[in-house]
Structure 1
Amino acid sequence: MQVQFQVRGRGALRWLTFGMITIGSLSLVTGLIFAGVSVSFLTDAERAPGTVVALDWQGDHGGGTRKARGDDTPAAYPVVEFTSADGTPRKFRDSAGSNPPSYAVGEKVEVLYRPGSPEDARIKGFLSLWLMPLIFGGIGLLFMGIGTVIALVSRRRP
């Protein structure tokens, strides 16, 4: 019975290792895709001065699990006005929110937008451009690292 248990244990360990490395690889690839989107956006983007005209406070951050844990602290998403190259005034809500707010009402910011679709605009800032690539890439590296360590340690055992 002892031998049979060890065989099952090694099989489970292999599946755990495979799962960790697979999830890590998929997450890392997703992070790289988000990074590529940000780089592409930066390459094509026009720049314009903008002003934060409001803060849109949102309590649900999209996951829905924060309220279940009792943590429904709202995040402030800056609403920015700018004028595109064609002279049209535009307004957008940035995709990155934070608490405490990263921007104040009345603050001047640099806006990046695609010339062909000025409604696709972002504040030129770290959170707006690099948060998603860093989250997915970091999770990917963590899971791949854990999976690799498990694989290396399990190979050393007789």
Structure 2
Amino acid sequence: MLGISVFLYRSTRKFLASSKTASGTILADKEGSLSSKPRFTFTTEDGTEIVVVSNTATKAHTFRKGQTVRVLYDPARPERATIDTFIQLWLATVICAGLGLSFSITSFFIH
């Protein structure tokens, strides 16, 4: 788990170093309510409109329909954009690091 957290950390840092920013808007899902994985739209530098469903789930009330958000995206793959929040960027890294540390400390005391 610690190895995975290091990989995720490096991957996110690399993404942040090369990403572009855009202003995005939170959308409603098909039923008209916000989904647990925020769905948002933004326009790239070249004028292409992109709609993305986040790969990180949040509480339904975290984002509101019509809310403006800062979006980070890789110009080569804008469909993999993310909302610029700590949770959206770092949640997986923090969870893996926490689990890895817990497992390491537990195994130290068991042996």
Q: TM-score, normalised by structure 2?
A: 0.89
The count of residues paired between Structure 1 and Structure 2 equals 108
**Could you list the runs of 5+ residues in structure 2 that have no partner in the other structure?**
none
1:56 deviation in Å?
7.0
CA–CA distance in 1 between the matches of 2:14 and 2:61? 27
CA–CA distance in 2 between the matches of 1:96 and 1:109? 15
Say which SS state the counterpart of residue 119 (structure 1) adopts. Answer: strand
- Aligned pairs (5 A) from 1:27-46: 27-46=1-20
1:52 aligns with 2:20: no
CA–CA distance in 2 between the matches of 1:41 and 1:55? 27
Say which SS state the counterpart of residue 130 (structure 1) adopts. Answer: helix
**Could you list the runs of 5+ residues in structure 1 that have no partner in the other structure?**
1-26, 58-74, 152-158
Say which SS state the counterpart of residue 37 (structure 2) adopts. Answer: strand
1:148 deviation in Å?
1.1
CA–CA distance in 2 between the matches of 1:136 and 1:51? 30
Q: TM-score, normalised by structure 1?
A: 0.64
1:127 to 75, 83, 87: 87
- Could you say which structure has the larger radius of gyration? 1
Which residue identity does 1:47 align to in structure 2?
T
User: Larger helix proportion, structure 1 or 2?
Assistant: 1
Give structure 1 regions of 4+ aligned residues with deviation exceeding 4 angstroms: none
CA–CA distance in 2 between the matches of 1:123 and 1:56? 20
| CA deviation string 1:112-154 (max 9, x = no partner) | 0001121120000111110111111100000000111223xxx
| CA deviation string 1:7-32 (max 9, x = no partner) | xxxxxxxxxxxxxxxxxxxx110111
Q: Let me know the Cα RMSD of the aligned residues.
A: 1.6
Which residue identity does 2:90 align to in structure 1?
W
CA–CA distance in 2 between the matches of 1:114 and 1:99? 26
- Aligned pairs (5 A) from 1:107-118: 107-118=67-78
Which residue identity does 2:28 align to in structure 1?
A
